[in-house]
A and B are shown apart, each in its own frame.
Chain A
Amino acid sequence: MGMSIQVLLDVLDRAHTGPVCSVKDWDTKVIPGKVSEKLSEHGLKGTCTPENPINTDDGLADEFWHAGFELAVDVGMLCLDTERVIKFTEEELKEAIRNAPSELILGEGLEKVLMKARKPEDKTLPLYCAPIGIEASENLWIPLIQGIAQHRVIDMIQGCSLRTVLGRQLRSGTPYETLAGRVQAQMHREALWRAGRPGMCATSVITSPTVYGQLGGYGVPGGYRTSDLALVLSPAELKTSYVSLHKVVHAINCGGPIFGGSSSVIGGYAGPVEGSTIAMVACALLQIAVHQSGWGSCSVIDMRYNGNCGRDAQWAISVAFQGITRNTRLLTQSVLNQVAGPCTDMLLYESAVGMMNLSASGLSFSIGPRSAGGKYADYISPLECKFCAEVFKSSAGMKRVETNELAKGLIPKYEDKLRNPPKGKSFTECFDLKTLRPTKEWLDIYLKVKKELVDLGVPLE
């Protein structure tokens, strides 16, 4: 995947010379106004169908794609530091999409994996990366990541965020963060070596809330390798900042591939669920144009429960990504945001619905899970990571009509608990740290839900 210094300079120049717009105007006028305009122009207001949470209408997905593409061209991306808009012409955006890869080899040695662009209902296997950056204690970090990496169904590792670095409280933006980048890379290597999978690709550096963790840990001797993905996460959909752009420059300096991403918020700046869906499409495309991300990447959060396994959010994910994957050959990525914790059946039901949807809607890969909403340190275990990967891959080739019916049966099992989900149990409470195996309680829940899914027709082994 080649990255271009010329594209980088164009983006940096536009961040300095583009049209002026205050953050306040962007949030309260530009985004809601333009999104509303696109919804009206394309007849998309009120098209969300919560009773059918996974879209099966190709025409609707295509209309959202067109609206999202137009939104990306019309508004561009705001640079928070300069309060200027980085804009692209229609042709420039099309060129960025054309130049983005349709397949990518990631990892090293025996752990090399091929990521391919997929279409809805595609039989090509997607890739799964676990876990998402939930905070973990320093002393549990290596066994936790080892426990996840030991499952061969998982293709890549992101890791957890560190709470401390060498015993010191890790404050973002301080030299502790710079140190944490390097320390985490070392721990990452150790965990993969213990799991017997040293060549697995990493998405890095997750403990880099500002640019310092990335500078300290990516591409430096003993740090993350340049065959690993350099994470460039935006603070919000359709916004970037110098923190993100510094990370882009650093990845280009090191010659590493870039993984951009962000989330739209249902009820937020883009408004209703249909507005967030358009914003997701635009965000995914602009990640490629602005951050030179290797794929179209965006997720969604429903602010009513801070997750995305409810009906509206699942619908938004299905429509946005069906639109993108039907109309391009882009690699695509999205994140599932569960709210229930480990050792609960709710976490597995949420995961089953979401992973089936992502697979059937044509995603190339996904990172997760966000067990317990990512709220609690150490509330993540290897078993739900394995479960997500299993469902994601086994759903490849499933029809959306079938997936929608399954989702309609499973969502009622948890939707009334989305605002007050069970916290579940921490890694140490539901896993044996010596054997890295789940407790009987957690394993029984896993087997029960898995059997239930098999009985419903999910082709799990």
Chain B
Amino acid sequence: MARIALRPTDGSKVRRPDGGRRGLTAGRHALWGWGVLAAALALPASPPLPAFIAAAAEPMQPDSVRLTIGDSIGTQPSIAVPDCLPLSPDETARSAGRTIAEVLWDDLDFEREFRMIPRDVYRTIPVAGSLIDLPFGRWREIGADGVVSCTVEVLGNGRFEVTARLFSVRTGESAFGVLYPGSPPNPRLVAHQLADELHRHQRGLQGVARTRLAFVSDRDSESVFGLVENRPVKEIYIADYDGANPRRVTVSRSLNTNPAWASDGRSIGYTSWLSGFPDVVVSHIFEGRMAKPVEGDSRRQNFLPAFSPDGRRIAFNSNRDDNNDIYVANVDGTGVQRLTNHPAIDTSPTWSPNGQQIAFTSDRTGAPQIYVIGADGTGLRRLTYESYCDRPTWSPPPFNEIAYSSQTSVGGHDIKVLDLATNEVRQLTFGLGSNESPSYSPNGRHIAFMSTRSGSKQIYTIGRDGRGLRRVTSTGNNEMPSWSR
């Protein structure tokens, strides 16, 4: 059962994001056991999306009074997420409450920090009429160490007010609590933010629930204009990390491939054939602006951009000197430098987390293999000795590894990970279809990739340990994912 590392907290007050401090309304909200002051919406310095809650403050709760839900024998604590309690008697609130609980369950399950009890198991446990009469006995019966209890109230302007708390089932105390006043009418976003904050508070973990995937898709079934052959248009799309909320980024009626997020999550670089030849294009998606920083022409074509972790440089592949080599430039296109100079193909650059090195693919010994070189052009080293390797993707810290696709059968590729500290290789996929184009989540714990295992090209995510495979897309063909930072 739950082992609570409990230190007393100062109880019944909630700090609103606006800084006002007031007690919660009795009867509607629980009065006791706020382990944490609410609504410290720690957003990243440059949020990937406009923050939807008015104010963002640092967490108010000192670590010394943190209460975490644990398990007596050191395994993962088990958590239940029943529907949120609707505080207004309408279908909107009820449905939002169900969506928040479902999405939160998925988000928590994704990181595998908790053992998530399937929601079917407690379908029969009634949603508590108030947070005071949570049926802790029932939750204990199904083996829950913690239960997330949340409320939804529909405000006048179509917005929600959401409260959520994580209770220890054994002691009935609240380990974590948040209040989101005036959330926009997007229950999924509320759940994602809640999941990220809960992970951070309970496990010290940077969650990815509010991250996004950029990818290439032919889902709109358009054809490239003016050709003899019928060629499907491939455009860049973005979606939430779980595939929900897909949106189209490019409308070029052309071919676009290999999107790559800039580190601030505000722009996406990709290879576009908009001008009739491949060139690096950067879409500043929050400004509705497009740029061609390294401005190619039919004789100086540019492919496969990769932004440096500090966002100031861009590595790319170009044939401007009559051969496929890796180049580096400032993001504004100035200071172009040739990094590799070999008659073979050098392509698919990826930056090390500190920006000091670049891994890439080269076929200088025959079949393509992964190499690494200093960002100053020195220290070339070969990393892989397999039949065919491509698309290296360097993990973010704290891990130091490179995921890549490796040919494991005729025409079949699998995702592998090379640990740079031990030189050991882990294989994550095993021959189901072809598995290509890996991309790390910003916390380094997951990898998105394309697989043909379903018969079409779709995007999946998998843990860096090879567990927790999830399918993300299903409409049309979807490939070449890039996970936002």
A and B: bona fide binding partners: no
